[in-house]
Amino acid sequence: MEKILVIRYGTIGDTIFASAFYRELRHALPDARIDILADDISAGVMNNCPYINKIFYLDGKYRNIFAYLSLFRKYDTVYFLKNDSFFSLIAYFAGVKKRIGFDVRRNKFLTLTSAYNEDRHEIDCYLDLLRISGIPVKNDKTEVWLNRINDDKAKEIISCIANKKILIQAFSRFAQKNWLDEYWIELIRFLSNEIGAQIFFVGAEKDVKCYQNILDNITDNLEYPPINMCGKISIAETMSLVKNMDMLIGIDSGVIHMAAALDIPSILLHGPTSLVRWKPRSDKCVVLSRHFSCSPCCLQSGSTKYCKNKVSDCMEYLTPDMVINVLSDKFGLKSKKIA
């Protein structure tokens, strides 16, 4: 039996992109042992994945070097979906026969490499690692995996809500991706008072104050005050909540990729990152983007361009009217105040 370890830790979006890799690997090697090395964030997405046998949790690096050496010695193959000089060296010193990853400086002593092309979608880059291994790729659709307990909790949260349910994800750890607070205020007023939608906020606990700041600056009453779930539900529970939404509106973030994987209609407010590299793979995602000569400007390896403005022009020029028009034209959500 072939024993395979896959290393992919970090962001929610990248972990969802990797879902196609795990599925295609399992379909090609149904009898293999496939384990992953992940952190709490990626494990939150992967906990119910049917294509893996076990999750090993990342627990520091150098202070646990001998534990990692012992772990890696158990495997015939290690795939590096995360570029990491430490773990690629561990695989080398552990004597792993097949060490497969991207041809970048952060990876050391790999036996098989694929180009890490920034003009190619991240999903396709991951799948290229299978192709160079001789493993066929038949499907590049992303997935997320839910369970009944989380689904039941999501249904309980929305159980008394009969109107449209729209989830908003407004904040990223990268400030350049964020939309303007005053734009969110205008859009929330429209969604609540004119469409009659129930809005949900999701994010980490640190985002609670950010959303509250938006609400504090809405001076008039909202017909349906938003429900703030930040810090109250896990990543897995958030995926189940997304499944029960009518729509998601958000910035470039992991939650927009949850919606894509679950075929939930969404509107992406896209700014400084590369659409070629990070666009959600979904026909139900409408992307609003304003291209400038400097686009894309950041969050890419080797980038020397960064927006000098406190608010990125590419986000400032995405106005609430643009979102409202898409809601009307693409999704049929028009103001109930129009006679």
CATH code of the domain covering residue 125: 3.40.50.2000
Angstrom distance (rounded) from CA 236 to CA 184: 26
Angstrom distance (rounded) from CA 94 to CA 211: 47
pLDDT number for residue 172: 87
251: amino acid identity, one letter: I
* Contact call for residues 322 and 301 (beta carbons, < 8 A): no
* Contact call for residues 65 and 91 (beta carbons, < 8 A): no
Q: Which pair of structure tokens corresponds to residue 218? A: 């809405």
In this structure, are 127 and 159 located in the same domain? no
pLDDT number for residue 117: 85
In this structure, are 89 and 169 located in the same domain? no
Does 337 map to a domain?
A: no
Range scoring the smallest mean pLDDT among 133-137, 154-158, 179-183, 305-309:
305-309
pLDDT number for residue 337: 66
What's the mean pLDDT in 174-184?
90
pLDDT number for residue 339: 44
- Between helix 85-94 and helix 65-72 the angle, nearest 10°, is 60
In this structure, are 87 and 174 located in the same domain? no
Does the structure show a pLDDT above 90 at 152? yes
Range scoring the smallest mean pLDDT among 68-82, 151-165, 247-261, 294-308:
294-308
* Maximum alpha-carbon separation in the chain: 72
pLDDT number for residue 309: 62
Last residue of a domain, one of 103, 131, 159: 131
Report pLDDT digits (tens) over 223-236: 999 999 999 999 99
Angstrom distance (rounded) from CA 247 to CA 34: 34
What's the mean pLDDT in 293-302?
60
Does the structure show a pLDDT above 90 at 175? no
What's the mean pLDDT in 207-222?
91
In this structure, are 215 and 302 located in the same domain? yes
**To the nearest 5 percent, what fractions of the chain are helix, strand and coil?**
40, 15, 45
What's the mean pLDDT in 105-115?
95
Angstrom distance (rounded) from CA 254 to CA 16: 8
Does 139 map to a domain?
A: no
In this structure, are 211 and 316 located in the same domain? yes
Q: E strands of the chain, at which residues? A: 3-7, 33-38, 54-57, 77-80, 98-102, 112-114, 165-169, 198-201, 227-228, 247-251, 266-270, 285-289
What's the mean pLDDT in 203-220?
90
Number of domains present in the structure of the chain: 2
pLDDT number for residue 308: 61
In this structure, are 160 and 106 located in the same domain? no
By DSSP bridging, strand 77-80 and strand 3-7 are: parallel
What's the mean pLDDT in 271-282?
91
Does 334 map to a domain?
A: no
pLDDT number for residue 299: 47
Range scoring the smallest mean pLDDT among 83-97, 146-160, 204-218, 309-323:
309-323
Does 144 map to a domain?
A: no
Predicted confidence band of residue 312 (pLDDT cuts 50, 70, 90): confident
Interacting residues of 293 by C-beta distance below 8 A, sequence separation 6+: none
* Contact call for residues 81 and 15 (beta carbons, < 8 A): no
Which domain does 38 fall in, by range? 3-131
Predicted confidence band of residue 119 (pLDDT cuts 50, 70, 90): confident
pLDDT number for residue 293: 67
State the residue for tokens 């959303």: 211
